[in-house]
Amino acid sequence: MKLRRFIDNFTATSLAIIVHVAVLGALILSFNWTSPGAPPGSKIEPVKAVVVDESQVAEEIEQIKKREEKKRKQEEKRTRVLERDAQKAREQRKEAEKRLSALQRRLADEKRKHDDSARKQREAAAKSLAEVKRQRAEEQEELEKLKRAENDMEKRRLADEAALAVLAAQHKALAEEKRRIEDAKRRAQAERKRVEDQTRKATEARKAEQKRLAALAAAAAAKTAAEQKKKEEEIKQRKAEEARRKADEAKRKAEEARKKAETKARREQEEADLREQMALEQAQLDAQRAQLLDRHLAEYIGQIQAKVARNWIRPPGSPKGLKCTVKVAQIPGGQVVRVTITKSSGNVAFDRSVENAVLGSSPLPEPKDPSLFDREIDFEFEPED
């Protein structure tokens, strides 16, 4: 590439030379630079430009052939040199690749370490999550139990209801009997009324019989009432017990719910704490990395400044306040491949000194951290004094 450009340049330059020589010849022809005080008549010939003479063409061709032969040989030699250079370049590239792969390995290593700790943290998180799940399952189980208890209670309630129905039936039977007793009483009265006038003895006997019957009835009634009362008392007691049990149950449930909520809140707090902790550690890690990079960047800039300043020779007697900005393209390894003036100082010599300072500093220093490497760097050249 460079070679071709150079040849192009060479050809162009040859043309330029012919043109310039012709012009210069004309200039010199037109300027009388006869030696001062020289005797008139002894005119000095002006400098002549090169003109191809036809009689010399054959000889020229011969010379050209020779030159071409020579050139070809030089070309071959150069090719060999180029190949050698290419070999060297390949080796350098291999070396660079080796370095790159080492860097990549290091990076991979760092990443692996980082992944490791992340994985551990993830595992810990997963573990605590599993714990939460397990506790949730337990709670679920308790809930099931609770439901089962409720079912039992319902069954019991149904049983009680059945018992009550039986009681009601007994009650009814009792009432029936009472009614029958009433009937019997009424019948007995009617009998008494019918037989009243017939026999006194019979009356007395009847009276006794009546008394006995009344006592019997009273006893039966009392018995029925007592039984009734006892049954009602039992139901009442059972109901109260049920209510107390229910209240206890509700209280227990509430307590459980509270405990559950507390546990949940605590667990959530713990999880949040963990997350916060992880974020904090990540941030600290980032900050440390950033600080390291900052330090490396400062070092990198300092090294470049030192090298370029060392290679900067400003033209003497330049006016004050000159400033030149260049864009510099480099390849990994710091080799400067291009310097472009983005803002000229307006002074040719100053601009050239700037370009030469950068080109003369190739290869530029390399950053410790490869992530700091950039293919393009802007330079501002402005003398302090």
Q: Would you call 304 exposed, middle or buried from its count of C-beta atoms within 10 A (0-12, 13-18, 19+)?
A: buried
The minimum distance between CB 281 and another protein, in angstroms, equals 13
Q: With CB under 8 A as the contact rule, which of the stretches 8-16, 104-112, 121-129, 210-218 interacts with another protein?
A: 8-16
Residues 6+ apart with CB under 8 A from 339: 326, 327, 328, 329, 355, 358, 359
Window 66 to 85, contacts with another protein (CB under 8 A): 71, 74
The minimum distance between CB 271 and another protein, in angstroms, equals 23
Q: H-helix or E-strand containing 337?
A: strand 335-343
Closer by beta carbon to another protein, 206 or else 351: 351
x/- mask, another protein, residues 201-240, rule CB under 8 A, reads: ----------------------------------------
Binding residues with another protein: total (CB under 8 A)? 77
Neighbours of 109 (CB within 10 A): 10
Q: With CB under 8 A as the contact rule, which of the stretches 9-17, 111-119, 142-150, 177-185 interacts with another protein?
A: 9-17
Phi–psi pair at 47, nearest 5 degrees: -65, 135
322: tokens are 């000159």
Window 312 to 351, contacts with another protein (CB under 8 A): 312-318, 327, 347-349
CA distances from 282 to 117, 269, 277 (A): 11, 20, 9
Window 270 to 299, contacts with another protein (CB under 8 A): 283, 286-287, 290-291, 293-294, 297-298
Among 60, 362, 366, 368, binds another protein (CB under 8 A): 362
CA distances from 6 to 68, 77, 341 (A): 17, 17, 21
Q: Are 326 and 350 in contact (CB under 8 A)?
A: no
Alpha carbons within 13 angstroms on the beta-carbon side of residue 377 total: 26
Closer by beta carbon to another protein, 41 or else 194: 41
x/- mask, another protein, residues 81-120, rule CB under 8 A, reads: ----------------------------------------
Q: Are 308 and 376 in contact (CB under 8 A)?
A: no
Among 121, 355, 366, 368, binds another protein (CB under 8 A): 355
The minimum distance between CB 24 and another protein, in angstroms, equals 7
Neighbours of 29 (CB within 10 A): 13
Among 20, 106, 148, 258, binds another protein (CB under 8 A): 20
